[in-house]
Amino acid sequence: MDTRRFGNTDVQVTPVGLGTWAIGGWMWGGTDESQSIDTIHAAIDKGVGLVDTAPVYGFGRSEEIVGKALAGGRRDKVALATKVAMNWSDDHQNVWREATAARIEKEVEDSLRRLQTDHIDIYQVHWPDPQTPMEETAKAMENLLKAGKIRAIGVSNFTPEQMDEFRKFAPLHSLQPPYNLFERDIEQEVLPYCDEQGIATITYGGLCRGLLSGKMSKDSQFEGDDLRNNDPKFQGERFQQYLNAVQALDEFARDRYQKDVLALALRWLIDRPGVTTALWGARRPEQLDPVGEIEGWSLDPEALKAIDDILTEHIKDPVGPEFMAPPTRDKAA
C-alpha cells in the first residue's frame, strides 16, 4: 500500500489504518485475544501501515493486545497511534474526560508498557476536557514530544476553535474526527481548517459501526454492552432508512465498479480532500479480505453526485455520532 507523509512530521502512514476499539471488547460485546492478534498480523501483511488504539478501549486491553501483536519484529512496520486523557472508575461503570498534566504523565507510561515500545508515533488527546486549562494539556503533550516519548501530537474530537487554543501553547500535528458517508459534519469547517493549517487527519468510524459493511439487516441483534444498542442509527424506522441507503449504495457500487458497498465507503473516504488516513475497524482476519478492493480506482464527480443523491433519497431523519461523547469529570457520576 502506498504511504503518505503525516502532516508536517516525518511519520509515514498508509491511506487505510487499522482501528482497534472493537478489539478491546468494551462496548463491543467482549474480545478474543488470539483472534485479535491474528487480525493485526493480517492487516500488516496486507500493507496496512498504521494501527490506532487507546487506553479506554477495554481499559488497557486493546493496547495490551496491540503490544503483543507487534512484538517480535512487527513494531517497525507500522506507525503506532494511541490516545490519552480519559479516566474511569475501578468497576469500569463510569468513564470521563481528564486531560490534566498528571493524568497525561501517568497514562503515557502505562501505554508505553502495555504497547511494549519505547515511543508512540502519534499521541492524541482523546476528547477535549473543558475542566482543564488547554495550556496545561498542550504543554504536557509538548513535554512528551521534547522527551522523545512521542513523535507527533494529535487531538481527537476537537473543533477548530479548540485546536486554535491548543496551538497557542504547543505544536499540533493531527486530528482524529468521526467521518463516513453517513456522518459528514466535519466537511463544513473541520476538514478545511486542517487542510489550511497543514494538520493531518485520521478519520474514525469509516464503516459507521458496521452499517456500511453491507452485512446488516433489520434482524441484526447487538448483545451485551454493544454501543449500537444506544446508537440512534440502529433504532426503529431510522435503522431501516440507513439499511435502505446501504442497499442502494451497494447496488450502485456493483453496477458501476463491480465492487460492494464496503469498498465504496472506504474508497470514498480516502479520496476525500483533507483525509490523510481512514481507520478500518476489524475483529477477525477475514474482515480484512476486501483491503485489495479499494486500490486502483477512484470516484469521479458524477459518481460522488450519485452517492449524495442516494443518501438524500433514503435518509430522511439523519443523525450524527454525538451519542458517543463521554461526560466531563463533574458529570461522570
Q: How many residues does this entry show for the chain?
A: 333
> What is the rounded distance in angstroms from the CA atom of residue 152 to the CA atom of residue 176?
13
In a 13 Å sphere around the CA of 14, the CA atoms on its Cβ side amount to 24
Listed in order, strand segments (DSSP E) in the chain are 4-5, 12-13, 16-19, 50-52, 79-84, 86-88, 95-97, 122-125, 153-156, 174-176, 200-203, 277-281
Instruction: Name the residue with cell 500493507.
Output: 47
Can you tell me whether residue 224 is helix, strand or coil? coil
- What angle (nearest 5°) sits at the alpha carbon of residue 330, between those of residues 226 and 87? 50
- CA distances in angstroms from 34 to 55, 62, 65, 135, listed in the order given: 19, 12, 9, 41
Nearest to 203 by CA among 142, 265, 259, 245: 265
Cα–Cα–Cα angle for 21, 232, 264, rounded to 5 degrees: 60
C-alpha span between 101 and 7 (Å, rounded)? 25
Alpha carbon distance 79, 112 (integer Å): 14
**Structural Rg of the chain based on CA atoms:** 19
Q: Tally Cβ neighbours within 10 Å of residue 252.
A: 18
Cell numbers representing residue 114 in the block:
502495555
Catalytic residues, which ones? 57
Element (H, E) at 166: helix 160-167
Sorted by sequence, the CB contacts under 8 Å of residue 62 that are 6+ apart come out as: 20, 21, 23, 24, 25, 53, 54
Instruction: Single out the residue of 78, 211, 82 nearest to residue 156, CA to CA.
Output: 82
Terminal CA-to-CA distance of the chain, rounded, Å?
A: 45
